Amino acid sequence: MQNKFNSRKLYFQSKLKPIPITLEIEPGFMAVGQYHLAAGMNNRVWFYDLTKPQPGADDAPLKLKERQYLGAVTSIRLNPEYASVLFEGRLQLHMVRNGLIDYVKNNEYFV
């Protein structure tokens, strides 16, 4: 991973060129999963889908959402479906993507 202010580049073995990602802020932490990227600072995290392009951009990944948590994020981990976010000694587990039908309001768990 290369970095420059407000810009990150991911190099995938299956692709011959880097994927540029323009971020909202200079991140304090990042997590890369199989299909998603999370980048954030303090209690805010932006989630990106690495498998879909941003409309109007060639290879830039699709920005899914921005989330705020109840405290400063200490750690974040991603798997293909879920994000686990550690903040102020609490672990929150939630889906990275909500389905097209957002009828499940409480798909979040605290430990």
Sequence spans of domains, the chain: 26-110
Q: Structure pTM? A: 0.76
Confidence band for 76, pLDDT divided at 50, 70 and 90: very high
Q: Which tokens in the block code for residue 32?
A: 């890369």
Model confidence at 89: pLDDT above 60: yes
Residue 93's SS3 state is: strand
